Amino acid sequence: MSAMKKRHLEPELDSTNAERSLCEALLTLRSVDEARAFLDDLCTPAEREAMRDRWSVVPHLVAGLPYWQIHDATAVSITTIGRVARCLEQGSGGYALAAKRIQQRRKPAAATGVRSAR
């Protein structure tokens, strides 16, 4: 029995360029609906759920809530909460930057008494 010969295929883009291209694509999106459509096409339902879970705990961690309260509020596992907390503390700064910018967007509306649409 002979083993099949594996062909070496060069990817069109190396992983750094591919990631940059993905980030550039994200930056072209102009609304929540556009971002949702992009994520629908890009990710499996399980991947979207994992991202939603991670992001849902960020505001709670930023607010300093204990893990058990975050778990009770979000139903996200303590393990995932811990991973997100490590990223907030030791990661690249992406969670913290996005959380800060969202908080800044909401402050003017709260200060003027304008309620955000949900």
> Rounded distance, CA 74 to CA 67, Å?
10
**pLDDT the model gives residue 27:** 97
pLDDT tens digits for the chain (118 residues)?
556 666 566 666 588 899 999 999 999 999 999 999 999 999 999 999 999 999 999 999 999 999 999 999 999 999 999 999 999 999 999 999 999 999 998 887 666 565 545 4
User: H/E/C letters for each residue in the chain?
Assistant: CCCCCCCCCCCCCCHHHHHHHHHHHHHHCCCHHHHHHHHHHHCCHHHHHHHHHHHHHHHHHHCCCCHHHHHHHHCCCHHHHHHHHHHHHHCCCHHHHHHHHHHHHHHHHHHHCCCCCC
* Contact criterion met (CB below 8 Å) for 43 and 36: no
The predicted pLDDT at position 2 comes to 53
pLDDT of res. 92 = 96
Tell me, what's the pLDDT at 118?
42
Q: Two tokens at 43?
A: 């990710």
pLDDT at 108: 72
Cα 88 to Cα 60: distance, rounded to the nearest angstrom: 12
| Predicted TM-score (pTM) of this structure | 0.76
